Homo-oligomer: A and B are copies of this chain.
Amino acid sequence: MADLQRFRDMLAAYMAKKGLRSTKQRDAIVDAFFVQPDHVSIEELLARVRERDAAIGYATVYRTLKLLTESGVADEHRFGDGLARYELADEEAHHDHLICVECAKITEFEAPDIERLQDEVAKRFGFVTRFHKHEIYGVCPDCQKKTKPRR
């Protein structure tokens, strides 16, 4: 688990710079995100947040996640199921994803050697890298067992 305080500070700084205000809705959403900032969708997060305050509207969740993304606290991902998912923008421990095409489970992996080769590719083309996506779609071990049981 990353250093959450660092992210809270990052968000506070961004909000101060932009003259944004903190509200109970925002706090509830941000807290809910920090509880388990791992590939949550808006809908999942909204459900979590409504346990604390049932009146929070989904537009507020969209707006707050956009705020988290702009402030550099969260990264937005799209894994092919048509909706955005968010996770902590943890550069220190950068990882990429394996996505199961059967059960949609997401597994993280780190591969510094791939990152290095990737930097070389960017350099070869004269690109200044901002970010990247590396996603491997396939069938996870669990689903391999389910899909082709010996019979």
Contact = CB atoms under 8 A, between A and B. Distances in A.
Give the contact-size bracket for chain A.
20 to 34
Interface in A113-151: 113-114, 117-118, 121-122, 124-141, 144
Contact of A98 (B122, B134, B140): B122
A65 to B, nearest CB: 16
Contacts of A127: 98, 100, 107, 136, 138-141
A40 interface: no
Contacts of A58: none
A74 to B, nearest CB: 16
Given A78-B78, A98-B121, A140-B127, A132 B135 contact: yes
